[in-house]
Chains A and B, each alone.
Chain A
Amino acid sequence: MPSEFFKKTLDPVIALAAIAVLDIFLFLMIGAFTVGGGETMMTGLIAEAAMGDDLQRLPFWNLVFEPDPTYWKIYISLGMLFGAFVSAVLSKEFYIRMPRRLSEWVLITIGGLLMGIGIRLAFVCNVSTFFGMTPEMNMGGYLAISGILAGAWVGSLIYKKILEG
């Protein structure tokens, strides 16, 4: 049976229903599924390793995110990386893929930067929006969904223009 699991594509509705049930347990034990906070802490830890005490000159890293390797949200991301790696190896889907064209590298670079800036400006990421705030009926969830829909629409227009050449 487990080998069958790694041969066929899983219905995303089943996958997401399972994730939702697990997220309810996580919400009861620690807090809802989130990624952006852990990524910010990783950024802080990397910056601290690179800059040492100089990082203290930036108040953000004292007042908002003080670098702490025992921050639980980091380990959700590391877990996803580990789980996806194991799953890809077991399904024989692990192989090194590189963007081929320069334009792809440029888009990924700009997209990555915008995601990082956006998460920090909002204090939430897309995961917190859909898997945390909105199901908690937090007012921020509705603001965030409006923002991400508008952004995805503008992004899609840009993407379409680029596709059409």
Chain B
Amino acid sequence: MSAIGQCLIAFVFGSVVGILVQRSRFCNTAALRDAILFKTYRNTKALLVAMIILTFGFTLFLTFGEGNPMRFDVGLNTFAGLFIFGVGMVLAGACTVSTWVKTGEGNVGALWALLFTFVGMFLFSLAWSANYWPPAPASMTGEPNLEALQLGYSNAATLQEKFGIPAIVFGLVQVGVLVLIYRAILRKEAAQAERHRQSQAARAVATAAE
């Protein structure tokens, strides 16, 4: 596919995502922050449903050698980078998707967060140009490189290659785990609703007694 064709498909995909996220008020930051801080799971459940569908779809196609998975080594930088990102997204009150979507709604704070994300990226490019870590994709080997704190490359397709078990089997195990997490959230919500109902009933009895 030509580069222009790819850009057009990406733009159409992004536009539909922008509409769906704007209409649903979905926020990835809220999916994590609200579950941790407020024990509410509106966004967390949506994120889990997406991951269940994606795990099934991606591993099904990877079984037949289809799809374009990400190919680069991962390592300590993957954990550390997302840790820094996680702190930042809660402080900014937005993640990569919501900064774009909220900017589209006229939110100047989101635009400001976006501009400083760019500044952060540029600052990192200065640091990388001095120490060349983590390794550039061109010099990645796919194998563990402990000296550079890299663990290499592996996904459902490489597991299939290594163990001779179809990628979808690993995918179904992951789907099972995600479904269990989803069900645990539903149980927690049911318990919260029951406690709420009981406290309402107790309040009604107390009011009637007065």
Contact = CB atoms under 8 A, between A and B. Distances in A.
A102 interface: no
Interface in B40-98: 42-43, 45-47, 49-51, 53-55, 57-59, 61-62, 66-70, 72, 74-75, 77-97
Interface of A: 5-6, 9-24, 26-36, 39-40, 42-44, 46-47, 58-61, 63-65, 70, 72-88, 91, 93-99, 104-105, 107-140, 143-156, 158-160
B108 interface: yes
Given A113-B116, A118-B83, A156-B33, A77 B100 contact: yes
Contacts of B82: 118, 122, 124, 126, 129, 143-148, 151
A76 B70 contact: no
Top 6 closest A-B pairs, CB basis?
Answer: A151-B86, A116-B120, A79-B14, A83-B18, A122-B81, A111-B92
13 contacts: A12-B26, A28-B66, A81-B100, A82-B104, A84-B105, A86-B15, A111-B88, A122-B85, A131-B50, A146-B82, A148-B86, A153-B86, A158-B87
B3 A72 contact: yes
B46 A13 contact: yes
Q: Is chain A's binding surface mostly helix, strand, loop or mixed? A: helix
Contacts of B29: 152
B164 to A, nearest CB: 16
Given A70-B7, A83-B16, A63 B138 contact: yes
Nearest to A84: B104
B32 interface: yes
A120 to B, nearest CB: 4
Interface residues of B, number: 120
Nearest to B54: A135
Nearest to B137: A64
Contacts of B137: 64, 123
Contacts of B67: 27-28
A110 to B, nearest CB: 6
Contacts of A111: 87-94, 113, 116
A20 to B, nearest CB: 4
Contacts of A97: 105-109
Q: Which of A61, A74, A138 has the most chain B CB within a 10 Å cutoff?
A: A138
B5 to A, nearest CB: 9
Contact of A39 (B62, B83, B96): B96
A59 B129 contact: yes
B24 A81 contact: no
Given A108-B92, A126-B89, A138-B153, 8 more contacts: A12-B26, A84-B105, A111-B113, A122-B78, A139-B154, A148-B82, A148-B89, A151-B86
A20 B124 CA distance: 31
A139 B151 CA distance: 9
Contacts of B104: 80-85, 87-88
Nearest to A124: B78
Nearest to A68: B3
A109 B112 contact: yes
Contacts of B11: 75-76, 78-79, 82
Interface string B125-137: 1101100101011
